[in-house]
Structures are given as structure tokens and as C-alpha cells.
Amino acid sequence: MAQTISIGSTQLIDLLKAKLGRELKLFNEDGFKVDLEESPAGKFTFLAFRVSDSGTSGSTLEEAQNIFKHYLADTISDIILNHWEDILLKDIIKENYYYFGEDEKDLIYQYALQHINRDGQNSRDTLYWLSRKSRILQKLLDFLRYNNRIIIEGFIRFRLKEYIGELREAADRAVDDFLIDREYKEFVQLLKYFVDIQESKIEAVHVLIRGGGVFKLFDGSMQPVRSDYLEGYIIDLADNEINYEDLLISALITIAPKEITLHYKNKNSMSATLDTIKNVFAGRIKECQGCRLCASARKN
């Protein structure tokens, strides 16, 4: 005896119909027939599917209904991950971080997408996405094994609590990223202010960065920068742990050169520091493409 399988939702019904329509064509080619009826019920819209055997499938009706449920679960899991997830994330951010402005919430949302690996640029992201889909698909199959009626919003809320928890965690981590980024930008603006009001002690400075972040400063004539230019810039080497990256930024701010040329062995080893220098001294930075100083850096 044929059974009716129905899906209810308040949104994305047209998308669901379109995706299922493609699946139904494959299903019909296998010798089955599926009748679709759409009906509203308050704020919900229901899609009712009635599966029957056309007599050419070679399978029982029960097998056909199980196959259709798998098609259905696969389609719903795709829609949850590729479309519903955006709605869920934005609702979580809106509910828990309502005190941020709309532009700030948009930035938090973008950070959250990175935490759930929605970049899709490498195999690790793809494997993570497939893992999440597999878990949602299995939950759907377990539910549809004993139920012929599913309301997607209710299923997500009550059956995908672990998945929702992952989205909440991604949103929390995204807020941390946003706050750190905002503090960094405010810090850079403050440093830029110091540089702008500072009188340049040297017209041009060459920065040689060696292994471990150790650096040397040279003037435009390729002579070491004299210590008197750094008057007041004193470090107690005996009692303090040296952070060369902080020292470099502080030294450059103290000198406030109009032009800075960077020479280094490995850009990646100090990428964050170099980015900060480029942001603070915007318009003053040059990167050497190869000279005797660069060669000196490579030897160390």
C-alpha cells in the first residue's frame, strides 16, 4: 500500500521543490511514480509525496519508499548545510550578540563561516563538510525510518542539537576574532598617530631581518643607525626577555623615517610584524627584491 511522505517548512520551499524535482526525474527513470501535492497550513507549506510502483522497477513498494526517503534525506541535508546554515548562523548572532551594529554582525558572520570551514578551498575543508553532511544525513534517515512527516525547523531544533552547538561555538569564536581584529586596528591607528606627529630623525631606513627575528637598522648610506637616534629607547637586556618584533616596531616609530626598505630572508617567519609595519607606515614601505643586505640575511 502506497504511503504519503510529507515535508513542512516556513521557508526555502521553492528551493526544496527544485532540488527534489531533479531527484524525482531519476527516481521515475528507475520505474517508480511520485505524485506531489503542495498545500499551505498557516505559516507552513507542506509538500506531500505519494510513491507508487509503475510496474517496471523490479523492486517492492516498500523498497521504493525507502529509496525515496534516502533521496529526500540527501536533499534536505544539502539544503541545511548550503542554505539553512546561513539563516541559523545569522539568527544565533542576532540573538546572542544583539548589542553589535549591523555591519559588525556581518563581519562576525564572515568570521563564523571560516570557523565552520565554508571556504571550500582545500581537501580539509571538503572532508569537514562531508563529515558534517554525513552526520546530518544519518539523523534524517533515522528519523524518516519511523516517520513519514517531517517539519524541517522542528527537526533542526530538536534532532540536530549537536550541529546547532557547533554553529554557536563558531559564532562565539567569531566574536573573539572580531574583537581581536578591532583592537588591532585601533592599535594600528594609535601607532600611525604617533608616527604622524613624530619628527623624522632619519630620511630613509633599511631594515635587515635575520633568523629568529633579530634585526639591524641602516641609514640611507647603508651605515648602522647611530644609538643617539634612539635616545630614551633603553632596554635592560639582563632583566627582560627580548621580543624582537616589538622592538623593531618601537624602534621604527622612534626614528619615524620617511622611507623604509625591508630586507629579509623569510617573509613568513615575521608576516604579522611585517603586516603591522606596512599598516603603520603605509605609503613609506619598500620591499627589496635582492641586494647584499638580503644576501646577508640569507646566510643566517
pLDDT at 237: 35
203-214 burial: b if 16+ Cβ within 10 Å, else e: ebbbbbbbeebe
- Is the same domain home to 83 and 152? yes
- Is the same domain home to 9 and 96? yes
pLDDT at 120: 47
Element (H, E) at 51: strand 44-53
User: What Å distances lie between residue 30 and 50, 145, 174, 269, CA to CA?
Assistant: 16, 21, 46, 58
- Is the same domain home to 57 and 106? yes
- Is the same domain home to 131 and 208? no
pLDDT at 122: 47
> 206 with 293: CB under 8 angstroms?
yes
| 93-147 confidence digits (pLDDT tens) | 999 999 999 999 999 999 999 998 765 454 456 788 889 999 999 999 999 999 9
> 61 with 2: CB under 8 angstroms?
yes
pLDDT at 30: 67
Which of 190, 223, 240 terminates a domain? The answer is 190
pTM: 0.81
CB atoms inside a 10 Å sphere around CB 284 = 19
Average pLDDT on 49-55 reads: 76
Instruction: Report d(CA 85, CA 271) in Å as an integer.
Output: 33
CA contacts within 13 A on the Cβ side of 30 = 19
| 154-209 confidence digits (pLDDT tens) | 999 999 999 999 999 999 999 999 999 999 999 999 999 999 888 888 899 998 88
Task: For residue 196, tell me if it sits in a domain.
Answer: no
| 3-49 confidence digits (pLDDT tens) | 789 999 999 999 998 888 877 777 777 667 788 899 999 999 999 99
- Is the same domain home to 56 and 100? yes
- Is the same domain home to 153 and 186? yes
Range of the domain at 160: 4-190
Of all residues in the chain, the percent with pLDDT exceeding 90 is 50
- Number of domains the chain is built from: 2
- Is the same domain home to 78 and 135? yes
Average pLDDT on 268-291 reads: 86
Task: For residue 12, tell me if it sits in a domain.
Answer: yes
pLDDT at 239: 42
- Is the same domain home to 107 and 154? yes
- Is the same domain home to 160 and 115? yes
Task: For residue 171, tell me if it sits in a domain.
Answer: yes
Instruction: Report d(CA 288, CA 261) in Å as an integer.
Output: 6
- Is the same domain home to 86 and 181? yes
- Is the same domain home to 272 and 241? yes
Which of 157, 190, 223 terminates a domain? The answer is 190
Task: For residue 181, tell me if it sits in a domain.
Answer: yes
- Better pLDDT: 2 or 251: 251
Task: For residue 127, tell me if it sits in a domain.
Answer: yes
Give the cell for residue 170: 563558531
Which of 158, 190, 222 terminates a domain? The answer is 190
Task: For residue 227, tell me if it sits in a domain.
Answer: yes
Instruction: Report d(CA 262, CA 270) in Å as an integer.
Output: 12
Give the cell for residue 12: 526555502
Task: For residue 103, tell me if it sits in a domain.
Answer: yes
- Is the same domain home to 26 and 87? yes
Task: For residue 199, tell me if it sits in a domain.
Answer: no
Alpha-helix residue ranges (DSSP H) falling in the chain: 13-29, 61-79, 85-96, 102-115, 123-146, 152-159, 161-197, 244-255, 271-280, 292-298
